């Protein structure tokens, strides 16, 4: 099955309000909402564009994975998320190809979205997230 679309592109930033100053105020994207996720220790701004969205992610502690990424690599493009129809089938096919999965089986967000990450070493350097949205 062919993947459906780019669901989002995630950007790690030092300061989400400053980044909104560019992506919303200068570039002109709508700001759908911002969200503080205490579990992952990040603040995220969601800016839709076409059928996808830009997510601006700021770490709010110094210990999270995203905070360590920011400290090591600096601000910038963090991961790409592609939406598929059947994430279990996609992961099976990717694993069968010999590519390395970070999540062998899909994990679930509170809204029912299933997700899993593919390791950058198998994609040409890209941290790739797959999404399967809940049935409506």
Among 40, 41, 52, 60, binds a copy of itself (CB under 8 A): 52
Bridge partner list, 11:
56, 77
DSSP 38-86: TTTTEEEEEEEETTEEEEEEEESSSSSHHHHHHHHH-SEEEEEEEE-S-
Residue 1 lies near a copy of itself (rule: CB under 8 A):
yes
Q: Would you count residue 75 as binding a copy of itself (CB under 8 A)?
A: yes
Cβ-based burial of 111 (10 A; exposed 0-12, middle 13-18, buried ≥19): exposed
Site for a copy of itself contains 65 (CB under 8 A): no
Judged by CB under 8 A, the stretch of 33-41, 47-55, 60-68, 105-113 that binds a copy of itself is 47-55
Count residues near a copy of itself (CB under 8 A).
51
Interface residue list for a copy of itself (CB under 8 A): 1-6, 9, 11-15, 18-19, 21-23, 25-30, 49-52, 54, 56, 74-80, 82-83, 90, 93-94, 96-97, 99, 120, 122-126, 128
């Amino acid at each position: 099955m062919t993947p459906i679309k780019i669901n989002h592109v995630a950007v790690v930033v030092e300061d989400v309000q400053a980044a909104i100053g560019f992506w919303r105020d200068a570039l002109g994207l709508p700001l759908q909402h911002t969200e503080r996720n205490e579990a992952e220790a990040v603040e995220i701004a969601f800016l839709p564009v076409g059928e996808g969205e830009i997510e601006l992610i700021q770490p709010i502690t110094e210990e999270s994975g995203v905070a360590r990424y920011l400290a090591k690599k600096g601000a910038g493009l963090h991961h790409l998320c592609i939406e598929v129809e059947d994430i279990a089938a996609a992961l099976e096919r990717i694993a069968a190809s010999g590519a390395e999965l970070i999540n062998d089986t899909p994990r679930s967000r509170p809204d029912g979205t299933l997700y899993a990450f593919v390791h950058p070493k198998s994609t040409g350097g890209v941290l790739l997230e797959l999404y399967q949205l809940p049935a409506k």
